[in-house]
Chain A
Amino acid sequence: MIAARINALARRVPAAALYILCALPVPVLFYMGATGGLGPEPIKALEQELGKIALQLLVAGLAITPLRRIAGINLLKFRRALGLMAFFHVVVHLLVWAVLDVQIVAQIWADILKRPYVTVGMAAFVLMIPLALTSNDRALRWLGARWRVLHRLTYGIAVLGAIHFLWLTKGFQIEPLAYLAAILGLLALRIRRLPMKKALGQGS
């Protein structure tokens, strides 16, 4: 019932709308940062907000498949927008970190090599690049079945992103653990599918 209604609504909303909606936080956050809306230390606030939105978009992207399989809600046409907008936020997050926060070129490089949480975040960013480059219909056709395999990198990227967040916090904090739990939970829903398939295969 609800699933059908959501599906009907989703059919009417063009994916382009999601790009605009998901890009909106970036100008809004910069405006707030420049006008005092993010508190007395806007650089860190901006950096952290952008990182969290990227994680939220990754979680949303990972939820698409289980939603369809378990609840019958089909939001597949929005998945590309979610992934690309996650990448967009990661790029801006990285730029804010490098240009506004660290500021010193030698220090940026040193941090990537020396600070494990930066290394992990950077690895997630690098792994996202091929996915962003192949998020178009031409690449999809060109890669065929390999596209699916390549885009499973998302699983690793999301886990790295959550570890990056967890690793940079002080003390025992709930928020990064919640992201990690959500991501691992969504991945676990996929693992269960494998033995089920096998069972079905043996049955037939």
Chain B
Amino acid sequence: MAYRWKNDLSARDVTPEPVFLNRRQWMAGMAGMAGGVALAGIGGRARAAGEGEGLEPNSWEDITTYNNYYEFGTGKDDPHKYADRLSIAPWSVQIDGLVDRPGAYDFDDIMARMTIEERIYRFRCVEAWSMVIPWNGFELGDLLDMAGVQPGAKYVAFETVLDKEAMPGTRYPVLDWPYVEGLRLDEAMHPLTIMATGIYGRDIPKQNGAPLRLVVPWKYGFKSIKSVVRITLTDSEPPTSWNKANPREYGFYSNVNPEVDHPRWSQATERRVGGGIFSPRIGTLMFNGYGEDVAGLYDGMDLTRFF
């Protein structure tokens, strides 16, 4: 069932390309101007952000050239440079574990059965940068329903493709490959949780996790696992890559929370990517601004303990 969730960001929030290009030119010009003028600009923008405005999606260029996809390298532009080597057709997703109809689901078959809609979401990286991204995709719940979730299932485990030939970053043990993630079943079935297959109405680029990737907008970006090849329904909490790498710094839940700092840096503020050299910091919102929809999932939980 699609269109369960109503967006507070509409298509009008998407900047038309010519307007966006003009703005880019203007920004470049501004950066070149005298510092005093530029600083006056900061004050204006910071105030706008405080009033909840300025929620316009990032440009295609921002979204597709500034990525964390460590399988292609740890540099922010590495995925853009190398992801093209990955072959994504044919693609199938193995759905197994506690499901009625386990098996390899062909990506084209999945697409034929799902309703694609646009979701303009805030995206908050654990590194304290953020974007607004106009995703296209379908609700994960619909895919799980297709496979038939059994009553005993409590968690969902995900796995990213591991193609050592195509992914130069996997030559180094930056993380324990393949990349794995997990959600509690109620988080996975939440209407905000989607599998994204496009951005700006185009096929999702490989550096962003083609052909399909998870998007959980109230959690730090690393939960939104890319290029998914396997989804397993389990009865116990599945291992997750960053938690395995450093359990003190990355919990299973990883909900965006300005009050719980990363041990090495503050999570109270963030910087929207694409704002240039004088880009202001803005306050990070509890659950990345989706508290109204998802806070209930964590009633009675100590979020400093279950971070």
CB neighbours (8 Å) of A111 from chain B are 265-266
A147 contacts the other chain (Cβ, under 8 Å)?
Answer: no
**A36 at the A/B interface (Cβ < 8 Å)?**
yes
- Check: A203 CB closer than 8 A to any chain B CB: no
Give complex CA distance A103, B45 in Å.
14
Docked complex Cα distance between A56 and B40 (Å): 36
CB-CB under 8 A from B258, the residues of chain A are none
Q: How many A residues touch the partner, as a band?
A: 20 to 34
Report B170-204 CB contacts with A as 1/0, cut-off 8 Å: 00111100000000000000000000000000000
Q: In the docked arrangement, what's the CA distance between A36 and B28, Å?
A: 8
With contacts A171-B70, A171-B174, A172-B172 taken as known, whether A41 is within 8 angstroms of B76 at the C-beta atoms is yes
Given A35-B28, A41-B129, A115-B264, is A104 in contact with B281 using a C-beta cutoff of 8 Å? Answer: yes
Q: B31 and A40: CB pair below 8 A?
A: no
Residues of B within 8 A of A185 (CB): none
Interchain nearest-CB distance for A187 vs B (Å): 25
Q: Would you call B269 and A34 a contact (CB within 8 A)?
A: no
Residue B32 interfacial (CB < 8 Å): yes
Known: A103-B281, A104-B269, A167-B264. A42 touches B276 (CB 8 A): yes
B70 contacts across to A, CB distance below 8 A: 171
Looking at A33, A45, A103, A174, the one whose CB has the most chain B CB atoms below 10 A away is A103
| B interface, over-half SS | loop
Considering only residues 40-99 of chain B, those with a C-beta below 8 Å from chain A are: 58-59, 61-62, 65-66, 70, 74, 76-77
Q: Interface residues of B toward A: which range?
A: 35 or more
B217 at interface, CB cutoff 8 A:
no
Given contacts A35-B28, A167-B264, A174-B172, contact A41 B269 (CB under 8 A): no
**Residues of B contacting A36 with CB < 8 Å?**
24, 28
The secondary structure that dominates the A interface is helix
By the criterion CB–CB under 8 Å, are B274 and A34 in contact? no
B65 and A40 contacting across the interface, CB-CB below 8 Å: yes
A130 in contact (CB, < 8 A): no
For this complex, 18 residue pairs linking A to B, each with C-beta atoms less than 8 Å apart, are A34-B28, A34-B32, A39-B77, A41-B274, A42-B276, A43-B271, A43-B277, A44-B129, A100-B278, A103-B281, A107-B266, A107-B268, A107-B269, A115-B265, A167-B264, A172-B245, A173-B74, A175-B74
Q: What 6 A-B pairs are tightest by C-beta distance, nearest first?
A: A34-B31, A40-B62, A171-B174, A40-B66, A33-B277, A40-B274
- Interface residue ranges, A against B (CB under 8 Å): 30, 33-36, 39-46, 100-104, 107, 110-111, 115-117, 167-175
Query: Hey, which bits of chain B sit against chain A, CB under 8 A?
Result: 24, 28, 31-32, 58-59, 61-62, 65-66, 70, 74, 76-77, 127, 129, 172-175, 245, 264-266, 268-269, 271, 273-274, 276-281
